[in-house]
Structure 1
Amino acid sequence: MRLFLRALPLLLLSLTVHAAEVDRRIAVTIDDLPWARLDEIVPADLQARHAALMAQLRQAEVPVIGFVNGNKLEVDGKVQPARVQMLRDWLDAGYELGNHTWSHMDLNAKGVPAFQQDFLRGEQVLRPLLAERGQAPQWMRHPYLRAGRTPEDRAAMDVFFKQHGYRVAPVTVDNGEWVWAFAYANVMNEQPDSPEREATLASLRKGYVPYMLNKVDYYEKQSLALLGYAVPQVWLMHANELNAAAFAELVAATKRRGYRFVSLQEAVRDPAYARGAEGYSGRYGPSWLHRWAMAENKPKEFYAGEPEVPKWVMKLAKVDGE
């Protein structure tokens, strides 16, 4: 008995540590391939920036799926072989590709019929490209994460996607990564080469990683509060200049947080994802964790504490909000 009592504190400590362990898994999804903002800015060194992103992805050594906008493969209505080659580079590296519509269309603004037409147009290059390798597109990502303004719209789209062999790629870790990336690209494209420019770019890289980690921490807490466990997260990012400079460090820092990177397919095997995009009917596209919280009528306080993009970054990005 005395021996048992002596060992009891160690036993309790072991149980406490075991109970505190969290199965942290996360899948990376990258939108707007072959490159974000091609409809606004086409840098002269686009191929060099793409090569830098591919190098960052290879260095990170994690599963990735990219989502393609078909119109970004064209110039004046003509498909550009160099841009299609950018997609081949993704496939050559072993990454998956999915459909992000042709024009990055907002389903909630344009409605179901127009969206379905635009979505199928997004297959014109993607489907034959994948067929070259014996593959077919199976994942789609809603632009702006907007999945339908009504339950009826979402149900109609669910039928449509199933008919065409697609699964919806959810997002749980939503974030303002695109704001940081706008800021980074603006500085790269608009400021002359100088020590001040390099200092600003360095500040953006330095701030980006902890901001993204804080977002992951926030949504982990949301999952624990809502589901009682850490759901395998799905992280939203974009093909842009910032990730071409900082993606590998972001992945390394996330691993130091205790996360294991998994494929999108593995992440969505979790039963929570069977709920789909239920819970929200409106203009915007919130995280699926927040959609599920809305379905359970969680109070406003539940959503408090989400990290925000700093004002100085928003100023550089030339945007008023996330």
Structure 2
Amino acid sequence: MKITLWTWLLLAACGIAQAAEADRRIAVTIDDLPWARLDEMAPPDLQARHQALLQQLRLADVPIVGFVNENKLEADGVVQPQRVQMLRDWLDAGYALGNHTYSHMDLNAKGVDAFQQDFLRGEQVLRPLLAERGQVPTWVRHPYLRAGRTPADRQLMASFFAGHGYRIAPVTVDNGEWVWAFAYANVLNGQPPSAEREAALERLRRGYVPYMLNKLDYYERQSQALLGYALPQVWLMHANELNGAVFAELAAATRRRGYRFISLDEALRDPAYARGTDGYDGRYGPSWLHRWAMAENKPKDFYAGEPVVPDWVKRLAKVDYE
């Protein structure tokens, strides 16, 4: 069979596209350990939902770094052994743990000095807990993804983290997952068991996975537009009831998209991450891809098309933003 030049070019293009799809990679990070909105649950519910989340993670079989807020280990200022055990459960499952500050402090609001003190307070349990296993804290995640409002502050924090042996864990796939989770928890905890409640929970479970995949698709397009290739992404999620119900389903759907789950360390080997936190001086905390785009003065329409949380979910979550 004779192959024309155009046929060869088409076959080559398809091969390149397939190779690019085969190299889709993503690292999962989970914030607010041992549990988001922990003080709103009775201990038996907390333990049951914690175990449900770990079971979902085991089914998904992905590398994970979890980020700890140590104030969530306390009740009335006293560290609770049962909550520390929740962190041991994460370590027993083979997951890494990082520092998310003691109180989930906003660096941009509180300033460098206060943040550094809060950060060091956030390793008082974590450091000896990891030492039991011959490990040391390695990863830091900025609460709200707020990394400093000036280049000088960001440089001070970069030096501070490095001096204490930490690496910043960026986020490229930012999302309103927390809004869906608030909605799910509000329905689960705020309504008595009924067919109506189960229908609302099922609607949230069914809507959540497509929403998260749409966010993933959006940030892959942003990566292609900014960098010219599919960056190994870093996904932000939280320890909550919704992920305790559907994380394994989300992971399976992500694999069907052609993604391979990798460690955070492997993702950050990509040279794009050397750009760091530069590019954004506002009060909020955008995706690292958007920070880098701002550093290049991309026009406003560059950011268009990002999926949003539906209004009906925001109403159930009792928030009007994401």
Aligned to 1:51: 51
Aligned to 1:24: 24
Give the Cα–Cα distance (whole angstroms) in 2 for the partners of residues 161 and 61 of structure 1: 30
Give the Cα–Cα distance (whole angstroms) in 2 for the partners of residues 13 and 52 of structure 1: 48
Residue identity in the other structure for 1:146: R
Give the Cα–Cα distance (whole angstroms) in 2 for the partners of residues 237 and 294 of structure 1: 24
Contact 2:38/2:46 (<8 A) preserved: no
Q: What secondary structure, in the 3-state scheme, does the structure 1 residue paired with 2:137 have? A: coil
Equivalent of 2:10 in 8, 13, 38:
13
1:106 and 2:106 matched? yes
Give the Cα–Cα distance (whole angstroms) in 2 for the partners of residues 41 and 316 of structure 1: 18
Residue segments in structure 2 that go unaligned for 5+ positions in a row = none
> How many residues end up aligned between the 2 structures?
319
Give the Cα–Cα distance (whole angstroms) in 2 for the partners of residues 190 and 224 of structure 1: 42
Residue identity in the other structure for 2:85: Q
Runs of at least 4 residues off by over 4 Å:
7-10, 39-44
Write out aligned runs for 1:224-303 (5 A). 224-303=224-303
Q: Which deviates more, 18-27 or 158-167?
A: 18-27
1:157 and 2:157 matched? yes
Q: CA deviation at 1:9?
A: 5.2
Give the Cα–Cα distance (whole angstroms) in 2 for the partners of residues 196 and 132 of structure 1: 47
Write out aligned runs for 1:182-197 (5 A). 182-197=182-197
Residue identity in the other structure for 2:265: Q
Q: CA deviation at 1:11?
A: 2.6
Give the Cα–Cα distance (whole angstroms) in 1 for the partners of residues 249 and 7 of structure 2: 37
Aligned to 2:126: 126
Q: What secondary structure, in the 3-state scheme, does the structure 2 residue paired with 1:6 have? A: coil
Residue identity in the other structure for 1:50: H
Aligned to 2:173: 173
Residue identity in the other structure for 1:20: A
Give the Cα–Cα distance (whole angstroms) in 1 for the partners of residues 118 and 269 of structure 2: 28
Q: What secondary structure, in the 3-state scheme, does the structure 2 residue paired with 1:171 have? A: coil
Residue segments in structure 1 that go unaligned for 5+ positions in a row = none
Report Cα offsets for 1:176-204 as digits up to 9, x if no partner: 00000000000011001001101100000
Give the Cα–Cα distance (whole angstroms) in 1 for the partners of residues 39 and 192 of structure 2: 23
Q: What secondary structure, in the 3-state scheme, does the structure 2 residue paired with 1:101 have? A: coil
Q: CA deviation at 1:39?
A: 4.2
Q: CA deviation at 1:282?
A: 1.3
Question: What is the root-mean-square deviation in Å for CA atoms of aligned residues?
Answer: 1.1
Give the Cα–Cα distance (whole angstroms) in 1 for the partners of residues 295 and 16 of structure 2: 28
Aligned to 1:68: 68
Aligned to 1:215: 215
Give the Cα–Cα distance (whole angstroms) in 1 for the partners of residues 10 and 290 of structure 2: 34
Give the Cα–Cα distance (whole angstroms) in 2 for the partners of residues 143 and 204 of structure 1: 25
Normalised TM-score (structure 1): 0.97
Identity of aligned residues (%): 78
Give the Cα–Cα distance (whole angstroms) in 2 for the partners of residues 116 and 264 of structure 1: 23
Q: CA deviation at 1:125?
A: 0.4
Normalised TM-score (structure 2): 0.97
Give the Cα–Cα distance (whole angstroms) in 2 for the partners of residues 13 and 90 of structure 1: 48
Give the Cα–Cα distance (whole angstroms) in 2 for the partners of residues 279 and 300 of structure 1: 15
Residue identity in the other structure for 1:315: R
